[in-house]
Amino acid sequence: MFSLFYNSNIFIWIERIIKFINSIFFIFLLIGLSFALIFSPPDYLQGDSVRIMYVHVPAAWIGLSSFSLIALLSILHFIFKIKNLPLITKSVAPIGLMFTCIAIVTGSIWGQPTWGTFWAWDARITSMVILALFYFILMLTHKFISDENKANKIACVVAVLGSINIPIIKYSVEWWSTLHQPASIKITGTSTIHPSMLMPLLFMFFVLILYCALIFLMKYKTEIIRIKKKNLKRYD
Amino acid sequence: MIKDFILMNGYGIFVWTSFVITFLVCVIFYYKTLKTLKKYEREFVKEIEELSNEQKKIVLSNSEIASRIISSQNKTI
């Protein structure tokens, strides 16, 4: 059973899953975009500008959950020293940074028609910028520290420190008086969003998760090849 | 009808800009990731080719990953 976790088996599965996602992705993307841009209704207050939500909210969710995952895996690596975990965190970080930046930019664009401004140093927006900075530091650590053990240790500290920011982002709209609206979707409790908007939103989230899986697997495959390439040097 | 779809009651500029930015960033990121992966595969194959025949045999018999990368590179060639 544990043979499943050998790098060669992981590598074979990665190739299969990449092929599978590539074959279905565009169909799902087309369905998601059709619902987001055509079939979902406009908001009674915000009108059609609410459609920005279908990229902004999934991007923000991915940005937040990626960092939570990185922090969790970093702690697990720190305790159990599982060698594949830093490879995973290293592959997830650029995806998280990209989606955090997308959430900030699309949020800023959405701010103009709804708040009358592109930017405000609001608690939610500022904490998202801090999250992007943590991602950036995490990636710089791996880029500029050549000793991998040292880089992993520093990245672990950065991830744990950065994880303090996650609940701040989540509850910023409740703790402080902000321009940003409170959460409309609650895991525990009743969501205030209508199902005709919730379903396309969840579908777009699923489409972007598929995209993330594709990028993650390609990056993870690159990391495995990089390690294999390094091991080849033993034969020189 | 198409005009209404594009203009979106005056919000079109904001909605389309958001979607286009997201789409472009995702496409660029995908191609950059794919390019890096292909570069590493090419370099890996090149390094294997530079090994002596005996070393190459050892590497290929010990590593399924190496054989898969070589066969995939041969397919693309």
Residue A122 CA to residue A179 CA, distance in Å, equals: 7
Question: Best of A9, A106, A225 to disrupt the B interface by mutation (most B CBs within 10 Å)?
Answer: A225
State the DSSP code for A185. Answer: -
Taking the C-alpha atoms of residue A70 and residue A89, their distance in angstroms, rounded to an integer, is 5
Residue A136 CB burial class (10 angstroms; 0-12, 13-18, ≥19): middle
How many whole angstroms from its chain centre is CA A164?
Answer: 17
pLDDT beyond 60 at B49: yes
pLDDT range class, residue B36, cuts 50, 70, 90: very high
- End-to-end alpha-carbon separation of chain B, Å? 48
Give me the pLDDT at residue A229, please: 86
Q: What is the pLDDT of residue B76?
A: 61
pLDDT score of A206: 97
C-alpha B68, offset from chain centre: 17
Q: Do B68 and A11 touch (CB under 8 A)?
A: yes
Residues A14, A220: contact at Cβ < 8 Å? yes
Mean pLDDT by 10 residues, chain A (236 residues): 64 92 96 96 93 97 97 93 91 97 97 93 94 97 92 94 95 86 78 91 97 97 90 70
Q: What confidence score (pLDDT) does residue A66 get?
A: 97
Question: Quick one: residue A201, left, alpha or beta (phi over 0 = left, psi -120 to 50 = alpha)?
Answer: alpha
Sign of CA pseudo-dihedral B28, A147, A159, A66? positive
Q: What is the CA radius of gyration of chain B?
A: 23
pLDDT for res A235: 63
B6 touches chain A (CB under 8 A): no
Q: CB distance from B14 to chain A under 8 Å? A: yes
Domain definitions of chain B by residue range: 2-76
Residues of B in contact with A112 (CB under 8 A): 14
